[in-house]
Structure 1
């Protein structure tokens, strides 16, 4: 039962973030102000285009699918050990995101005074750690089933 709760939470987070990226790709501005890292000078550290933003959205949708696949919904189409490995990979990605790039993002960032840096510390790092913890726990809870 707990595994289904973790799967539901992670899948909903991934889908929400995917739809948010799609919204941004097509010109939406809600929650965009502090969504990208900013240099000390105030310039955006990266300027992802429409294609890059849509690729992130597609990746998040795939992450949601992999997460839900841990419940066995896809049957024997893909062996469960591959699903588990992919889920551990997701945990690794979000752990690395939480640690950061040692400059703009994550716990090890050196640029700390910007709006993005504050939002990163308050929201993005804890969210990445939560996703990572849940993604690590989900396959462990389903082992032997």
Structure 2
């Protein structure tokens, strides 16, 4: 998965980048924003030895396998845990109503666990998977009505 952005601020190894909305978001006006960039600056800590200047166009890449594994963890595992908790509750002699309460309690606990995990280490994990694929100097960027062109 790729995303592009323009370097707006540099502080040592810290880059602050204005990201472009991905194609599906840029064509939708559901949030009422007509511009093609994200309003908040994205912070990226430069670990590679890459020469970057203000105004340069940067292409980021994140491993697709990592994204799929993360999606599987977040969207599939709560459902599996719900079913398993219901089956275990039924085997332990719980009534149908009690099994449903245990089932949804497990769902709430799993989402709470994901929330706490994300707050503590999730963002760090994702940032480690993001790498700079390409840097186009600001003097080589051609601007069109739809945004920058490579």
User: Is TM more than 0.5 here?
Assistant: no
The higher relative CO (CA closer than 8 Å, separation ≥ 6) is in 1
The normalised TM-score by structure 1 is: 0.29
Greater helix proportion: 1
- TM-score under structure 2 normalisation? 0.28
Report the structure number with the largest CA radius of gyration: 2
